[in-house]
Amino acid sequence: MPCKQDGSYPMPGEQLCPPSLPDADPTDWGAFKSKEGFELAELVYCKARMSAGSIDKLFEISSSEQVPFSNHTELYAAIDSLTVGGVPWQSFLVQYTGIQSKNSGACRPKWMSDTHEIFYHDPRLVIHEMLANPDFKDGMDFAPYCAFDKDGVHMYQHLMGGNWAWEQAVCFLLL
């Protein structure tokens, strides 16, 4: 059974808060030479989960003086200025509405009280854009198929070549 920091057991229904950590030395970046080095590593390894090849390419590009963007705002502006496709972004807000702890002093994760904005494109309009795009004219399968290798083994490579698409198209009810 878990116990409090002072060694006593919690009351039934009492939620335990994690112990606070000691203040870290703001100049200690461990194996990194600087805060910037740590933040770059956190970004490419933890947040973006870049591959080794992509990380090497990023460093190769950024070592030159011809970097096309100075910050993410310029990059986003360039992306937003692309004219391919006309499906607008939409959004809606969500918030946790489940059971809340009756103990007012209990620790509650921040996501339970925050409001989150979800952005999306209308999938139906995206499909219409894709079907109207001449670049896909000869590269789309509109009917399911089964492909087999020379040994007769079913090859699964695309959605329309899979069992689900085939079964949807050829299923029928026996009466």
Q: Per-residue pLDDT tens for 39-49?
A: 777 787 778 88
Nearest alpha carbon to residue 40 among 27, 25, 55: 55
Question: Distance (Å, rounded) from C-alpha 112 to C-alpha 90?
Answer: 23
Q: Per-residue pLDDT tens for 7-41?
A: 677 777 777 665 554 566 777 766 666 777 777 77
Average pLDDT over residues 80-90: 72
pTM: 0.39
Judge whether residue 143 has pLDDT over 70: yes
Instruction: Please name the helix (run of DSSP H) or strand (run of DSSP E) that holds residue 128, with its range, or none.
Output: helix 123-132
